[in-house]
Amino acid sequence: MDARSVVVTGMGALTAIGNNLPAYWEGLKAGVSGAGPITRFDASRFRTRFACELKGFDIGQHMNVKEARRMDPFSHYAIVAADEAIADAGLNFDRLDRNRVGVVVGSGIGGLLTFQEEIGGYFKGDGTPRFSPFFIPKMIIDIAPGHISMKYGLHGPNYSCVSACATSSNCIIDAFLLIQNGLADVVICGGAEAAITEGGVGGFNAAKALSERNDSPQTASRPFDADRDGFVLGEGAGILVLEAYEHAQRRGARLYAQLKGIGMSADAHHITAPHPEGLGASLVMQNVLQHAGLPPEAVDYINVHGTSTPLGDIAETKAIKQVFGDHAYRLSISSTKSMIGHLLGAAGAVEAIACILALQHQTIPPTINHFTADPECDLDYTFNQAVERPVRAAISNTFGFGGHNTSLLFQQIDA
């Protein structure tokens, strides 16, 4: 690696199967489902009445009540995961140049609960505008990295990317480019989402995107199963600390993995549906391999987008075959969305973390809830049980409404 190679030195995760990084990994290995009936609001009149909610999360354990009230839950999640990632990386900002530390954290939707409550309150009232002075600052997506930078006094590049479900992967890509181009030495990056609200569930129901398997929430997310009927909405955050290799070496940091390659493409096809032949998905994987300078045979694991939708899973399978040829059948593949649900704008970051942990532990997390084979999905999806195997390089695929495609390639440091 050269001096500006980009390495991962810290991670933080907040998901329906674990409120921190170790718990998240243990849940992934064990194949735990985070899905259950919605407790956040009365969902009895919705077509989907379950989701992957956080369990036992109390923002009061992380900040005072007054401070918490001035933020939407998506910002809560971002800050908590960032705190963990910063501690995990062992960053001591008193010993670093804070002007060279950036924060790039996004959200697919942002402060949906805040928007819903403020607008709903107005229309239920007498018509007199009574909006909180924190309405807009709570709702806007870029406030999450703003809060993180203010908490730690970080003066480097600070902004959000938004590309629907590819958001946090695009944030990671931007962080990579900032470091490689010498604009920052350290970037805290990823995404957060808090869309389990009436508007979130109702909107995705209207788009016919969500599973409606209300009789069995825990088995509702069934990527690559013949009976899949849509995704399960999740929430939480994933944050990574990316760092220039020379900078990480100088401070004696632990190195989890190298972010070796980045890829982006567009389907240019439909507002919600993937290209049926997976053309955008195949292009983004070709791009990440080319950028990494690696042949397809160097990759051992793909954490796929794998949303459990009828069209998406087939399109991604076709794309993998197009790019990897015969090696596609030697790859280990899994969709961790089967356990944590679809975190929308935070999906890419939590799934990138799953890839890095797979490299660290040489273990492939499973795709749970497989019951019926789909003849069009005939690769090794690591169904129902984690598998130990050598993992030298791993790809994380994330695709978003609007045809936004991203791929990240992580490699073992000693590879």
To the query of whether residue 165 is one of the catalytic residues in this protein, the response is: yes
Q: Out of 76, 247, 342, 370, which one is annotated catalytic?
A: 342
Question: Residue with structure tokens 């987008």?
Answer: 305
Q: How far apart are CA 126 and CA 137, in angstroms?
A: 24
Question: Residue with structure tokens 């070496």?
Answer: 249
**Residue 294 in tokens:** 């690696």
**Residue 257 in tokens:** 């993995």
For residue 322, count CB atoms less than 10 angstroms from its CB and return exposed for 0-12, middle for 13-18, buried for 19 or more: middle
| H or E element in which residue 396 lies | strand 393-400
**Residue 36 in tokens:** 């259950």
Going by the DSSP 8-state scheme, the letter that residue 152 receives in this structure is H
To the query of whether residue 342 is one of the catalytic residues in this protein, the response is: yes
Q: How far apart are CA 86 and CA 91, in angstroms?
A: 6
Chain center to CA of 65: 27
Please answer whether residues 232 and 308 qualify as being in contact, where contact means their C-beta atoms are separated by less than 8 angstroms. Answer: yes
Nearest to 97 by CA among 152, 31, 177, 41: 152
| Cα three-residue angle 41-160-60, rounded to 5 degrees | 45
Q: Out of 76, 147, 247, 305, which one is annotated catalytic?
A: 305
Helix (H, G, I), strand (E, B) or coil at 78: helix
To the query of whether residue 377 is one of the catalytic residues in this protein, the response is: no
In sequence order, which residues have a C-beta less than 8 Å from that of residue 133 and are 6 or more positions away?
A: none
Nearest to 234 by CA among 33, 384, 20: 33
For residue 96, count CB atoms less than 10 angstroms from its CB and return exposed for 0-12, middle for 13-18, buried for 19 or more: middle
Q: How far apart are CA 56 and CA 276, in angstroms?
A: 40
In sequence order, which residues have a C-beta less than 8 Å from that of residue 39 and are 6 or more positions away?
A: 53
Q: Out of 52, 161, 165, 171, which one is annotated catalytic?
A: 165
For residue 117, count CB atoms less than 10 angstroms from its CB and return exposed for 0-12, middle for 13-18, buried for 19 or more: middle
Residue 245 CB coordination number (10 Å): 20
Please answer whether residues 31 and 339 qualify as being in contact, where contact means their C-beta atoms are separated by less than 8 angstroms. Answer: yes
Please list the active-site residues: 165, 305, 342
